[in-house]
Amino acid sequence: MGNRKVGTLSIGGNWDRRVSRRHFLGVGGLSAAALLLNPSGATAQTSDRAGYGPTQPDPRRMLDLPEGFRYRVISEEGSTLSDGTPVPGDHDGMAAFRGEGDTTILVRNHELRTTDANPLEGRNPYDSSQVGGTTALVVGSDRRVIRDYVTSSGTTNNCAGGGTPWGTWLTCEEDRTTIGEEEHGYVFEVNPNNPESRLSKTPILDMGRFSHEAVDIDPRTGIAYLTEDDFEGLIDDDDPNLDTRRSYFYRFLPNNRRARPGALQEGGTLQVAKLDEAPDDADFIDLGQRFTVRWITVDPETPRDDALAADATRFNRLEGAFFKGGAFWFDDTAGGEGRLGQIYRYLPATNTIELFYEGTDKNRLESPDNITVTPWGDLWVAEDGDFGNRIIGFTPEGRSYVFAQNQVPFQSSPGVPDEEPGSNSEFAGPTFSPDGQTFFVNIQSPGITYAIWGPFKPRSAARQRMMAHAEPPRGLRPEISGELSESAQKHGMSELEAAAFDRLGVPLA
């Protein structure tokens, strides 16, 4: 999160590699085209359940949303908190908790380093030399901020994290450095009702020291599941066999599973996932494949070394995580042979991991990041790509849709050149209010927090459970450009056939 991608393959290159490796031998002509467009053999379908209709252009050029939805900017970096200090920048992971009366308390990460603008100014820091941490926003029923304040400080590169069933926030440092006398690369528990306390400045050592990304807890067992986003090594865009990048999937078995603040500080066991029957590199796992997990205990001080020695299953850059309906969802923002991202589902009840979805063209998915399950049971993914970042929805019925499109240009810190000139900033921290009527989401840079409301579907725990066991989506219609549509008409073929040839790199003059 917050580190722009090195690059992605072209659509043609992506499909060329997947076809040659898995499908194309023995398949020719329009048969190959049909297979590429729709591996399941069915055309894309629409349903009243699949989303809320097309997004509408926003005159303010901030958020495109479906008809009937509205938004409000409730916090911007550089404005002032209730105590007069600046709202910090680099808004990232976030969760919503029930507050007093009809209020919602948002706890928000700030993925800040000392070189970034608008640092977080805390009073009781873990490390006084660092400028990252978390803030809280108390939001009224009118979706306006009543009060905002710092909840933890003195950490660095606070990327994602996760909410606990008992109403606290676990903020994760996407880092593993030693700065002065302090080590970084930990998870900290933040209680918005007791801000900047001893709890918020005490690392949970047994949850490991590594480049943490996200964490969420199974409310039934109290087990925490964690993702790692480490930048050691390289991702080879042309051949996944040459990758040296490695991030791992962990779980933490707490000694004390009472649902209360501070219980995680009482120690536990950290383990890393190994899929014995799967490829060592998760890039090569196929859609819908399911594997039993073997959990290997690692030393929390050296988890990466132990994971490497155990030949644990290697991912590229694990990002968002969310537990709902009996499933733990997580994604790899650079996963898959096309580097467009993968979404995984872990089911504790069967101790299995499944590849739920893999990005194969930029219309379907690019660089999934933070992830959540909606109150009515759809899976929502925030993109961190190079082209028009969106909130993508997946339904238990196997369909997908776009809920929001971000129009805010990416803004780097002063003196730091934009890595992706002209690109839009990433969405981060998608979360719903406890009553399910308001969707909150951040834009990372410039830091903006939105409240979004409209005709959301009713809450459905049944559909959340359905999502946990839904079949992976297939047969999603690709985007057809005007030029490609004209070529299809010229050659007397359907737009879908033209799109398939385009993906195969066959020019349609």
Domain of residue 427, CATH code: 2.120.10.30
Q: Is the pTM of this model over 0.95?
A: no
* 63-66/55-56 β-pairing: antiparallel
Across 38-44, average pLDDT: 31
- Report residue 338's pLDDT band, with 50, 70 and 90 as the boundaries: confident
For the chain, give the mean pLDDT: 86
What is the pLDDT at residue 414? 55
Across 489-509, average pLDDT: 61
Q: Are residues 105 and 27 in the same domain?
A: no
Q: Are residues 241 and 350 in the same domain?
A: yes
Q: From the CB of residue 138, how many other CB atoms can be counted at a distance below 10 Å? A: 18
CA–CA gap between residue 265 and residue 23 (Å, rounded): 50
More confident residue, 45 or 86: 86
What is the pLDDT at residue 22? 29
Q: Are residues 93 and 22 in the same domain?
A: no
CA–CA gap between residue 377 and residue 143 (Å, rounded): 23
CA–CA gap between residue 297 and residue 289 (Å, rounded): 25
Q: Are residues 408 and 490 in the same domain?
A: no
What is the pLDDT at residue 127? 97
- Comparing CA positions, the residue from 330, 333, 327 lying closest to residue 347 is 327
What is the pLDDT at residue 505? 60
Across 405-433, average pLDDT: 75
Across 396-413, average pLDDT: 87
* Token couple for 289: 């494949």
What is the pLDDT at residue 160? 97
CA–CA gap between residue 279 and residue 292 (Å, rounded): 13
What is the pLDDT at residue 362? 58
- Report residue 506's pLDDT band, with 50, 70 and 90 as the boundaries: low
Q: Are residues 230 and 279 in the same domain?
A: yes
What is the pLDDT at residue 40? 32
Q: Are residues 428 and 445 in the same domain?
A: yes
What is the pLDDT at residue 208? 98
What is the pLDDT at residue 97? 98
What is the pLDDT at residue 17? 30
Across 396-401, average pLDDT: 91
- Comparing CA positions, the residue from 54, 106, 74, 46 lying closest to residue 390 is 54
CA–CA gap between residue 184 and residue 395 (Å, rounded): 38
CA–CA gap between residue 113 and residue 92 (Å, rounded): 13
What is the pLDDT at residue 335? 92
For residue 19, what is the DSSP state? I
Phi, psi values for residue 362, rounded to 5°: -70, -15
pLDDT tens digits for range 174-195: 999 999 889 999 999 999 999 9
pLDDT tens digits for range 430-471: 999 999 999 999 999 999 999 999 999 999 999 999 999 998
* 427-432/352-358 β-pairing: unpaired
What is the pLDDT at residue 438? 98
Q: Are residues 43 and 118 in the same domain?
A: yes
pLDDT tens digits for range 269-319: 999 999 999 999 999 999 889 999 999 999 999 999 999 999 999 999 999
* Token couple for 221: 């067992």
Q: From the CB of residue 74, how many other CB atoms can be counted at a distance below 10 Å? A: 18
Q: Are residues 166 and 27 in the same domain?
A: no
Count Cβ neighbours within 10 Å for each residue of 444-473 and write b for 16 or more, e otherwise: bbbbbbbbbeeebeebbeebbbebbebebb
pLDDT tens digits for range 61-83: 999 999 999 999 999 999 999 99
Q: Are residues 24 and 66 in the same domain?
A: no
pLDDT tens digits for range 131-153: 999 999 999 999 999 999 999 99
Domain hosting residue 343, numbered range? 38-478
Domain count, the chain: 2
What is the pLDDT at residue 27? 31
Q: Are residues 133 and 160 in the same domain?
A: yes
Q: What is the dihedral of CA 371, 61, 449, 146, to 10 degrees?
A: -140
What is the pLDDT at residue 509? 61
Across 53-61, average pLDDT: 94
pLDDT tens digits for range 374-392: 999 999 999 987 766 899 9
What is the pLDDT at residue 4? 39
CA–CA gap between residue 27 and residue 36 (Å, rounded): 11
pLDDT tens digits for range 202-249: 999 999 999 999 999 999 999 999 999 999 888 887 777 788 899 999
What is the pLDDT at residue 288? 87
pLDDT tens digits for range 110-130: 999 999 999 999 999 999 999
Q: Are residues 408 and 272 in the same domain?
A: yes
Q: Are residues 446 and 483 in the same domain?
A: no
